[in-house]
Structure 1
């Protein structure tokens, strides 16, 4: 009985984490009058400082010197780019449309894994990839008139997140968590801080408080999702990210006067079923299970499963 109860706790943590990220994204959208770099700088500053204080207080002496510096720096820059693209997409697109495009990340990971990791894609996975693309087409109904810059930004975010995930899978088992978390955070602060000189706009205290909230919600979401992965198998936790579609519909309607037509709902469901199907398929085929072990792209500390975690997932799923 203890294992199902623990798994349920993991699901609750995961749902809370993805809900935190949904509120995070809604607040970012509400701050759309400010430059993405200004939002990123203050949000990451408020995230980095409490993380560093907690790390020092815990007396963690792990080295932050990367074993693969080029890949670590590349991953950090990809993380900065993905955040910038995502924040810009939230400012220009309805939340639901932005999420559907961001949820293309697992599909892109599968394709990049073939190119850079030499993985083989079975016919079923090709079908799921095509199914996900159909869902995106149904949502967007692309034409010269309907495609906006926000759609391109959201897809760019998905590509950057997928590339970052591929690097995380390659080096995550060798690098320690401090390196995996600190490098993306520091890169974000340095890049956005350098740009801040050119884009800074004075802001009232309540908007500064909202930027603090963005950082706090990102930290809370990260903690809850990682806790969920520790308590339950990845096959249970990963599909919970699609709960963000529900939050996007609610927040879009309540706060941004966004309406959702039937085609957006249908396309979202197709994309969600495609993503869940791919997760289940990867869990069944051990040789490609590594895709499941890549954490959600929004979690900056995204190491692969430790061996003991993988063994526990296998035991619970048998």
Structure 2
């Protein structure tokens, strides 16, 4: 097996674990405050980030050195808030609809890359972004013609994910992966630890197991993704992220009894198609420039 082939396997496994983690998060968020869940699950994640930093060149001291301290802190705050909002969205809107909206994140990144990164977007990608946004509008409008207000949180979360991706691109130009991951875990854990204790509540016996599972899977999923990034370029991994939409939606239907309405299916197909086209055009642009 080649390094690239194993990279694809690690990437697919990562997004399948992410989707499973989302399903467990939905189960927990229906009984506990999302802030509390985020607080508990971020501690293992932070310890994992510190462990990786200790094994990197320069150790933890080396990981602390950054040329973008403000952006690194912002990334950590964005991630911890994004996780909390995502769990609230799973509980309120369900996995199917939430993941359908999440699929628009690459399109939002392409939009934000123009004003924030100074990137030039050709007419093809502009058309793809507009078509993708039409897909989002189709998802938002059910058969009775009213806007589905439960999707406000998923929309907010998609924007958070896009801004986080832009910040990651900026720091990625100058920083080692160990530095970015270290700040992600530590800053996120500090933020969650400041707010989280105010939202603690008694946990039912069996739910401790689910808290443990969601904490472990948060470490496993990121380890798999980091390993995939060592073998593949980001542009190769982005299309695979749509496996998360498919698997999470399947879990929503099979476990939580959610329904696949025609507007969600059609809108998702449009959003994913536009996202894949945008990713492909970005890959073409990089080949021409490189």
* Shorter-chain TM-score above 0.5: yes
Q: CA deviation at 1:55?
A: 4.3
From 2, 6, 10, the counterpart of 1:9: 6
TM, length-normalised to structure 2: 0.90
Partner secondary structure for residue 120 of structure 1: coil
Contact 2:49 2:185 in 1 (8 A): no
From 34, 42, 45, the counterpart of 1:44: 42
Aligned residues: 286
2:255 corresponds in structure 1 to 255
Aligned-pair Cα RMSD in Å: 2.3
Q: Name the CA shift for 1:288/1:144 in 2 (closer, same or farther; >3 Å).
A: farther
By relative contact order (CA 8 Å, sep 6+), the higher-ranking structure is: 2
1:255-274 aligned within 5 A: 255-274=255-274
2:67 corresponds in structure 1 to 67
Q: Does 1:97 align with 2:94?
A: no
Q: CA deviation at 1:59?
A: 7.8
Q: Does 1:147 align with 2:148?
A: yes
Q: CA deviation at 1:58?
A: 6.7
Partner deviation per Cα, 1:94-148 (whole Å, 9 max, x = no partner): 2121112112211111111111221111100011101111211222216884422
Partner secondary structure for residue 285 of structure 1: helix
Contact 2:100 2:264 in 1 (8 A): no
Q: Name the CA shift for 1:80/1:136 in 2 (closer, same or farther; >3 Å).
A: same
CA distance in 2, matches of 1:80, 1:245: 21
Contact 1:41 1:188 in 2 (8 A): no
CA distance in 2, matches of 1:233, 1:69: 25
CA distance in 1, matches of 2:239, 2:273: 9
Q: Name the CA shift for 1:145/1:265 in 2 (closer, same or farther; >3 Å).
A: closer
Q: Which of the pair is proportionally richer in helix?
A: 2
CA distance in 2, matches of 1:182, 1:54: 8
